[in-house]
Amino acid sequence: MPAELVCFEENCRARFAISEVLYNCRHCGGLLEARYDPPEQSALMLKRLWRERRTSNLPLDQSGVWRYREFIPFLPGYNCVVTLREGNTPLLESRQAAQYGGLDRLVFKHQGFNPTGSFKDNGMTCGTAQALRLGMTRVACVSTGNTSASMAAYASAAGLQPIIFIPHGNISYGKLAQALEYGARTLQVEANFDQILALVRQLAERLGIYLLNSINPFRIEGQKTIMTEMLDQRDWRVPDWVVLPGGNLGNTAAFGKALREMKQLGLIGRLPRLAIIQAEGAAPFYELMRRRRGKRAPRLAPVEHPETLATAIKIGDPVSWPKARHEVTASGGVVEKVTEQEIADAKAVIGRSGIGCEPASAATLAGIRKLTATGVMAADADVVAVLTGNVLKDPDYIYRYHTGSLDAPNGRPIQSNFGNQPVIVPNNAERIAAIIGS
Ligand code: F0G
């Protein structure tokens, strides 16, 4: 069996054909994941092959996802792949951010350098390939913005019709604008992300539309390559920590699976610890992992009205929590939560170092600062933080922060501790020279 879908639930493990249109186990309702036989090549051969492909002009090799295709072998062939040259995102070191986070060194894996500006592109190239392989014509997703922007682009590029569902008034204009520009049928629903996901899951089945939320196991396969590329870029030196924001927890599931599989294949010798950071007002996974100590395996208690200005992670009932719990535990990882003020300040620090990111991404640095302060993370630890989205995704937030007009969801003003006010000046060289001089 070269590739199959397997139920993630330990006491079920039902198996299904890789070409079934299925998002949950038909027996127990559990999450599904793709499983494969190990590749023919040795770890050393794979490393060489993947490195060589960086000099190739073949679209498939130029993709930072499909370059690692032996690691995600769910397709019988590659004619249905549409690539916008996703992945290929840099590792960027920031001295200022390291200092702010209480670390000697800090490196960001910046997924905002993707074609639509977020890590969703890594997964979406795989999701759309699978949609084409299954003969689907329409694809749908619910989104806090980035998934919809990415799906709109990839589906349109693939000749599929994208239909997106977004919480009305709760996504940034940068993301909404992308969906419109890339030609998605855009439905703004008067409900929150979790409510809309339940709605769309019913509709997808009824209308025969392929669902491309991160519940889709092929999206997870694509997002695995973020970790593969990161390690390839580090010449396979494993960091001590990988830090990422947690929303619907698809990325946590993907990174954990990738790291475990790379260890099984002998590509790496040990696992880095995962640190998942949530926004205080939308932190059901943080609460779950905190409660874990007492009872045995409690279920996640959804947050009914999640609140955060980091709208990308404004999710109260994350779908992938069982996978995420497994991955955090397997890696000896931690979950932390951070305030709106902490996110806003961390974001400005990342911006000042010339890197920039969207609010949800900055939760990583805010979390690192807390984890070093409490001694969980050592100052000399080797840390890679994943910036999930581009700085231009949410310009309104930036303008408000720097001009002192950003309010938290509870109405309390956010202090612009690292504010950078623009100055209005008259059309007068003398006066301007005086202002700049001072
Ligand atoms: N960061 C950004 C910029 C995101 O857009 C998301 C998720 C996350 C972090 C959280 O990742 O869900 O895998 O835990 N955005 C989704 C969307 C939900 O619809 O665009 P996760």
274 lines ligand 1 (CB under 6 A): no
Provide CB contacts within 8 A for 317, sequence distance 6+. Answer: 194, 197, 284, 300, 302, 303
- Kindly state if the Cβ of 361 falls inside 6 Å of ligand 1: yes
What percent of the chain has a predicted confidence (pLDDT) above 70?
99
Distance 313 CA to ligand 1 centre (A): 6
Model pLDDT for residues 325-361, shown as the tens digit of each residue: 999 999 999 999 999 999 999 999 999 999 999 999 9
Q: How far is CA 369 from the centre of its chain?
A: 20
Residue 313 CB–ligand 1 contact under 6 Å:
yes
Which ligand 1 atom sits nearest the alpha carbon of residue 361? 1
pLDDT tens, 33-54? 999 999 999 999 999 999 999 9
User: Do residues 101 and 372 make contact, with C-beta atoms less than 8 angstroms apart?
Assistant: yes
Give the distance (Å) from ligand 1 centre to CA of residue 382: 24
Does 32 have pLDDT greater than 90? yes
- Tokens 């070409």 locate to 19
| Pick from 318, 341, 350: nearest CA to 243 | 350
The verdict on the CB of residue 360 being under 6 Å from ligand 1 is yes
Q: Is the CB of 124 under 6 A from ligand 1?
A: no
User: How many whole angstroms separate alpha carbon 154 and alpha carbon 256?
Assistant: 25
Nearest C-alpha neighbor of 170 from the set 143, 201, 140, 197: 143
By the 10 Å C-beta count (0-12 exposed, 13-18 middle, 19+ buried), 195 is classed as: middle
d(CA 217, CA 48): 28
**CB of 248 shorter than 6 A to ligand 1:** yes
Ligand 1 atom nearest to CA at 250? 13
- Identify the pLDDT of residue 294: 55
Does the beta carbon of 145 sit less than 6 angstroms from any atom of ligand 1?
yes
- CA-nearest residue for atom 15, ligand 1, is 312
Integer Cα distance of 197 and 200 in angstroms? 5
- Nearest atom, ligand 1, residue 315 CA: 18
How far is residue 304's CA from residue 287's CA, in Å, rounded to a whole number?
Answer: 14
User: In angstroms, rounded to a whole number, what is the distance separating the alpha carbons of residues 160 and 137?
Assistant: 5
222 lines ligand 1 (CB under 6 A): no
- Residue 2 scores a pLDDT above 90: no
150 contacts 221 by C-beta, under 8 angstroms: no
Mean pLDDT of the region 389-415: 97
Cα–Cα distance measured from residue 309 to residue 318, given in angstroms and rounded to the nearest whole number: 17
- The closest alpha carbon to 192, from 220, 218, 165, belongs to 165
Strand partners, 36: 3
For residue 249 and ligand 1, the question of a CB distance below 6 A is answered with: yes
Tell me the per-residue pLDDT of 201-255, one tens digit each, with 9 for 90 and over: 989 989 999 999 989 999 999 999 999 999 999 999 999 999 999 999 999 999 9
Residue 433 CA to ligand 1 centre (angstroms): 45
Residue 268 amino acid letter: I
The reply to whether ligand 1 has any atom less than 6 angstroms from the CB of 128 is no
**Mean pLDDT of all residues in 19-44:** 96
Residue 382 CB: number of other CB atoms within 10 A?
17
Which token pair is 248? 């619907």
CA of 151 to the centre of ligand 1 (A): 13
Higher local confidence (pLDDT), 306 or 194: 306
Distance in angstroms (rounded) separating the CA atoms of residues 286 and 272? 19
Q: Does the beta carbon of 358 sit less than 6 angstroms from any atom of ligand 1?
A: yes
Give 312 Cα–ligand 1 centroid separation in angstroms. 5
By the 8 A CB rule, do 86 and 115 touch? yes
Rounded Cα gap, residues 138 and 212, in angstroms: 10
> What's the 436 CA to ligand 1 centre distance in angstroms?
41
The CB of 143 under 6 Å from ligand 1? The reply is: yes
pLDDT band with cut points at 50, 70 and 90 for residue 297: confident
Whether the CB-CB separation of 402 and 421 falls below 8 Å is answered with yes
| pLDDT tens track for 151-169 | 999 999 999 999 999 999 8
CB 364 within 8 A of CB 312: no
d(CA 15, CA 135) in angstroms, rounded, equals 22
DSSP 8-state assignment for residue 426: -
Mean pLDDT value across residues 390-410: 97
pLDDT category at 264 given cuts 50, 70, 90 is very high
C-beta of 288 in contact with ligand 1 (< 6 A): no
What CA–CA distance (Å, rounded) separates 26 from 410? 42
Tell me the per-residue pLDDT of 167-205, one tens digit each, with 9 for 90 and over. Answer: 998 889 999 999 999 999 999 999 999 899 999 998 998
Total residue length of the chain: 438
Higher pLDDT, 232 or 294: 232
Cβ–ligand 1 distance for 364 under 6 Å, the answer no
Residue 292 pLDDT exceeds 80? no
Distance between Cα 294 and ligand 1 center (Å): 29
What is the predicted pLDDT for the residue at 295?
A: 55
146, 200, 365: which to mutate for ligand 1, most atoms within 8 A of CB? 146
Taking the CA of residue 244 as reference, the ligand 1 atom at the shortest distance is: 9
One-letter amino acid for residue 242 of the chain = V
CB burial string 62-100: b at 16+ within 10 A, e below: bbbbbbbbbbbbbbeeeebbbbbebbbbeebebeebbeb
> pLDDT confidence of 291, banded at 50, 70, 90?
confident
Instruction: Give the residue whose CA is nearest to atom 6 of ligand 1.
Output: 312
Nearest Cα neighbor of 239 from 364, 370, 108, 110 is 108
- CA gap 89, 110 in Å, rounded: 6
Closest CA to 148 of 108, 118, 105: 118
DSSP 19-73: TS--SB-TTT--BEEEEEPPPSS-HHHHHHHHHHGGG---HHHHSTTGGGGGGS-
Name the percent of the chain lying above pLDDT 90. Answer: 95
Q: Rounded to 5 degrees, what are φ and ψ at 375?
A: 80, 5
The pLDDT of residue 243: 99
CA–centroid distance, 45 to ligand 1, in Å, is: 34
With a 6 Å cutoff on the Cβ, whether 122 touches ligand 1 is: no
Bridge partner residues of 34 (DSSP): 5
Residue nearest to atom 10 of ligand 1 (CA): 247
Question: Which of 175, 159, 160, 171 shows the shortest CA–CA distance to 196?
Answer: 171
Distance 247 CA to ligand 1 centre (A): 6
